[in-house]
Amino acid sequence: MSNDTSNAKFVQRIKNHPQYQELVSKRSRFAWTLSVIMLIIYYAFILVIAFAPKSLGTKIAAGSVISVGIPLGVFIIVVAFLLTGIYVRRANGEFDELTRKIKEDTK
Amino acid sequence: MRGIIASLFGLLATVWTPLLWAAEAAKPENKLNMTAILMFFAFVAVTLGITYWAASRTKTTKDFYAAGGGITGFQNGLAIAGDYMSAASFLGISAMVFAKGYDGLIYSIGFLVGWPIILFLMAEQLRNLGRYTFADIVSFRLSQVPIRTLSALGTLCTVILYLIAQMVGAGQLIRTLFGLPYESAVIIVGALMILYVAFGGMIATTWVQIIKAVLLLTGATFIALGALHHAGFSLEAFFRAAMEGVKASGLADHKKVVADSKDIFAPGGLVSDPISAISLGMALMFGTAGLPHILMRFFTVANAKEARKSVFYATGFIGYFYILTFIIGFGAVVLVAPNAQYVDMIKGTLAGGNNMAAIHMAHATGGDLFLGFISAVAFATILAVVSGLTLAGASAVSHDIYASAMRGGNVNEQTEMRISKFAALGIGIVAIFLGIQFEKQNVAFMVGLAFAIAASANFPILILSIYWKNLTTRGALIGGSLGLISTVVMVVLSKTVWVDVLGNKAPLFPYKDPAIFSMTLAFVGCWLFSKMDNSQQAAEEKARFDAQSVRCETGIGAAGSSGH
């Protein structure tokens, strides 16, 4: 029988591999946590626009014309980028290392 | 192949030259457009050269659909960013910031925040489970024929709507910038996109997109620097100048802002109520995750690692680009709005139409030569984006409908590629025809509708097929169809189509964006009809989930995990 995912025994062997369990739980927890962080930031922003749009027009300092909405908007863009960086760093390191081990053990 | 490209190129030149002379004779003030035309010809020459090179390397379906899987994460990041930075977002968002101020930023943010979610939940899963189209993933354990058909339908709806909007925009933009008649402009864009896709496949489409992304990012950076330079690189001075600009502006939108004493640095009237705000946010965020021409790009990289890197780079480029459009929009308030050269002070309109803010900014910051460059970049942007869309549509026809649904996968690669090339030709002709038909129509709603369909038909079945074991063919079919149909019905009955296009008095559906309702319908439909599905087939589909998730998590057995 070939070692691919059409082979039920092979699939079971990978599923029973302790590091497979570790990979799946770690990655899904990490991915969903980051997703929830992004969603909370974005929908908080949307809800402020929906319910209190004026608050985003508050000036950042007395005498300034710049509203808090502007740095906040740029901040959301930067955070979105940083979150992708954080995920890629851990996934391309730790998660790919786990995957490599699983593949080696189940060859 | 060489002959065809050479003769088409010759044809383009011969069609264009007399038209140019005619335009020149009619409008002597247009002489500056020669720069734009020369630069555009240079772009076309380079991209046709790439198409020729790509054609010689396109031997298999994997080359044709997925560029042989040999694109790096960085290159793919640029290409994805290129797909996303359409002329509509470059001109449209800077124009929205120009006219409405802060509201433009709300759109940019909505367009951007979908990317991290795509990375966390979909990018590597797509790479590990799919080969050429997103339907590969949905039909991984579900029934091929109905799922492929539904996915192809969702793809074609999204692609055609998006294409029409791009074609109409292209025709209008090129008429304004180059003095070329509308129909000729649409035909030239259509002909070039057919050439790129039919002969060069994904390799040509990717490289055209990468070149254009670099040109656009460079051009936009210079405009933004020009705007900031004007304010001595002080943000405070820059925004203060924008505030003064609004007061001195001849634009009707700005006069209204002053009359209502509104703040251009705070959310305005774009988002009128909470339901619209959330609905718009959902369409922007999840629509991105269901756009077939974007999803297809994840199959051009070698493995999950490169797929992740693609999104990281793409998010960086797109975020940077949106910050630039924001600066360009406010820069135009400073330099374009109070200037009678660009604004009709009496009528309160912008020369060339509302979308021209960024183009005028190029002129205001860099003179005629730079205007020529940016005009050529805008044209190149349209070409690159429509090519990506055409390739996605052609793949749905050849890979999903023909090879998988009609032939059950038993098909010769060369035949499948030939079908795809003919499909590209067919889609191109349809796009040219509809582009000309819709010249006088308001097509602004079409991009919104394309996003809403992507969010409500493509995205729900895709994400559920990856994560929810109990999804069955019946559930996906009913849920996906509900999403597709309800989106179209709600948009047609909303103000954008029912009142603005069809001329009725009052809309039958009160909200502009249906996503909050249509996405909910799609998800509930998928869930309910999967739960109620007790067939033998459903049990088998659930049983296949284990194999799918092992491949999804580890990439074992993933299609062609090496480049060449």
Judge: B266–A56 Cβ closer than 8 Å, yes or no: yes
Contact B553 A99 (CB under 8 A): yes
Q: Do A66 and B117 lie within an 8 Å CB cutoff? A: no
Write out chain B residues lying below 8 Å of A6, CB-based: 547, 557
* pLDDT, tens digit (0-9, with 9 covering 90-100), for B156-200: 999 999 999 999 988 888 888 888 889 999 999 999 999 999 999
Question: What torsion, rounded to 10 degrees, do the Cα atoms B248, B254, B259, B262 define?
Answer: -110
| Spans of all domains in chain A | 26-105
The structure tokens listed for B312 are 């990281």
Mutation target among B100, B103, B119 for the A interface, most CBs of A within 10 A: B119
Cβ neighbors of B388 (< 8 A, separation 6 or more) are B83, B205, B209, B293, B296
Closest Cβ opposite residue A11 in set B119, B263, B546? B546
The confidence score (pLDDT) of residue B35 equals 81
Tokens 């979909």 -> residue: B122
Measured between beta carbons, which residues in chain B are less than 8 angstroms from residue A103?
554, 556
A35 touches chain B (CB under 8 A): yes
CB interface of B with A, residues 322-341, below 8 Å: 322-323, 326
Inter-chain contact A20–B551, Cβ cutoff 8 Å?
A: no
Chain A residues touching residue B269 (CB < 8 angstroms): none
Q: How many A-B residue pairs are in contact by the CB < 8 A criterion?
A: 165
Extract the tokens encoding B403.
């090879």
Show the domains of chain B with their CATH numbers.
Answer: 2-57+71-439 (1.20.1730.10)
> Taking CB atoms and an 8 Å cutoff, what residues of chain B touch A39?
117
Q: What is the pLDDT of residues A59-95, one digit of tens each?
A: 999 889 999 999 999 999 999 999 999 999 999 999 9
> Which parts of chain B sit beneath pLDDT 50?
18, 21-32, 561-564
User: Is any Cβ of chain A less than 8 angstroms from the Cβ of B548?
Assistant: yes
Interface probe, candidates A84, A94, A97, A104, chain B, greatest B C-beta count within 10 A? A84
Contacts of A56 in chain B (CB under 8 A): 102, 266-267
Which of B107, B120, B264, B334 to substitute to test the interface with A, most A CBs within 10 Å? B120
CA distance B395 to chain A (A): 26
As a whole number of angstroms, the distance between CA B111 and CA B63 comes to: 30
SS3 B234: coil
Does the distance separating the beta carbons of A23 and B120 come in below 8 Å? no
For residue B344, give the DSSP letter: E
User: Could you tell me the two tokens for B5?
Assistant: 């490209």
- Provide the chain A residues 38-77 that lie in CB contact (below 8 A) with chain B: 38-39, 41-43, 45-47, 49-51, 53-54, 56-57, 64-67, 69-70, 73-74, 76-77
Model pLDDT, residue B271: 64
pLDDT of residue B142: 96
Burial category of B140 from C-beta neighbours within 10 Å (exposed 0-12, middle 13-18, buried 19 and up): buried
Q: Which long-range contacts (CB under 8 A, 24 or more apart) does B2-9 make?
A: B2/B52, B4/B199, B5/B48, B5/B51, B5/B52, B5/B195, B5/B199, B8/B191, B8/B195, B9/B44, B9/B45, B9/B48
Is B102 within 8 Å of chain A by CB? yes
Q: How far is CA B497 from the centre of its chain?
A: 21
CA-based nearest distance A34→chain B, Å: 7
Query: Which pLDDT belongs to residue B6?
Result: 58
Q: Is A86 part of the contact surface with chain B (CB cutoff 8 Å)?
A: no
pLDDT of residue B512: 84
**In A, which residues are within 8 Å of B559 by CB distance?**
none
Name B190's Cβ contacts closer than 8 Å, sequence gap at least 6: B167, B386, B428, B429, B431, B432, B435
Of B116, B271, B311, the CB nearest to A50: B271
Q: Is A15 on the interface with B (CB under 8 A)?
A: yes
Mean pLDDT (whole number) for A13-21: 92
Q: Which residues make Cβ contacts (< 8 Å) with residue B296, sequence separation at least 6?
A: B65, B66, B132, B133, B134, B202, B388, B391, B392, B395
Task: Count other C-beta atoms under 10 Å from residue A44's C-beta.
Answer: 11
